[in-house]
Amino acid sequence: MHNNLQKFQDYLLKEKNYSVHTALAYGKDLEFFQQFLDGNFDKTALEEVSYTLVRSWIVFMVDAGVSNSSVNRKMSSLKSFYKFLLKTKQIEVSPLSKHKALKTPKKVQIPFSEDELDNVLTHVVYKEGFDGVRDKLVIEMFYSTGIRRSELIGLQLKNVDLSGGQIKVLGKRQKERIVPLLPLMIDQLKLYLDERKVLKSIVDADFLFLLSNGNKLNETFVYRLINDYFSNVSEKVKRSPHMLRHTFATHMLNHGADLNSIKELLGHSSLASTQVYTHSSLTELKNVYQSAHPRNQK
């Protein structure tokens, strides 16, 4: 098993371009399953597992209070592992070939309103100097481009093209995409870059966004930044960078952008991922429908 686990993780990293974090998480899930097998089924090897044994693990986890979404994530790890064993011809049929994911409640995420965004970008008082200029630019960047938190943190100076009005973003699985910048973003970037030049020391010089000590941003800092500023203008419980990505997509839809364009801007590999944002646009869609359909004009 350990030999196959190492090969599987190498496959995820090198062939599937998964992050180290994801490959390790998949490995942990497989180790947990192996421990369950060792404790209950006389050390059955993962390569010899039947769906009955997988089902026993699912029942064990559910009884232990593991959430359906966590169980589904572990099953996703198993599915990938058995696909790898099929690909390398170590098994002929995956024990999960007919597995169906457990049902999970759909969480409807309420995006920020346009008024809330207007308030945070025009009425909130920002700190003086570098910190304030950076904070506002971070919020503007999330809302104007829809990029992920990890993409914003990893954005490099060389990939910001002010004259072309665009940025090159490195997304999931090392996929690059070009995202256009609004004219007001270009002005704010110039202002930020001027402030950035006068920092006393710059440690992570390649990165666009820095802390005042010259290091690049980290995930906790970015989360707190968004949460703190939006707590001034919003009562919503969820005030995260991802909520700004969600808001970007929803507001674009509300103003007539088509799903395919939003898919490209967000860096989604399939339209199904983008369609999650249509739910919060249903109210707007109904209003457009009522006012635009010929049968309602009579």
Q: Which residue has the tokens 């929803």?
A: 250
* Sheet of strand 166-170, all strands in order from the earlier edge strand to the far edge: 160-161, 166-170, 176-180
How far apart (Å, rounded) are the C-alpha atoms in residues 122 and 117?
A: 8
Q: Is 211 helix (H, G, I), strand (E, B) or coil?
A: coil
Catalytic residue (one of 134, 149, 251, 268): 268
Secondary structure letter of residue 217 according to DSSP: P
Q: Is 179 helix (H, G, I), strand (E, B) or coil?
A: strand
Handedness of CA 31, 32, 34, 35 (dihedral sign): positive
Does 134 participate in catalysis according to the annotation? no
Which token pair is 286?
């109904």
Catalytic residue (one of 7, 168, 177, 242): 242
What are the start-end ranges of the H helices in the chain?
2-14, 20-40, 51-63, 68-87, 114-122, 129-145, 149-154, 183-197, 219-230, 241-254, 259-266, 271-275, 282-292
Does 242 participate in catalysis according to the annotation? yes
Does 251 participate in catalysis according to the annotation? no
Cross-strand partners of 177: 169
The span from the first CA to the last CA of the chain, in angstroms, equals 70
Handedness of CA 72, 73, 79, 85 (dihedral sign): negative
Does 148 participate in catalysis according to the annotation? yes
Q: What are phi and psi of 129, to 5 degrees?
A: 70, -150
Q: What are phi and psi of 99, to 5 degrees?
A: -70, 140
- Closest residue by Cα to residue 169 from 187, 148, 184, 188: 148
Handedness of CA 276, 282, 284, 289 (dihedral sign): positive
Catalytic residue (one of 74, 134, 136, 148): 148
How far apart (Å, rounded) are the C-alpha atoms in residues 255 and 238?
A: 24
Catalytic residue (one of 196, 245, 251, 263): 245
Catalytic residue (one of 99, 172, 177, 236): 172
Does 173 participate in catalysis according to the annotation? no
- Closest residue by Cα to residue 243 from 145, 170, 143: 143
Active site residues: 148, 172, 242, 245, 268, 277
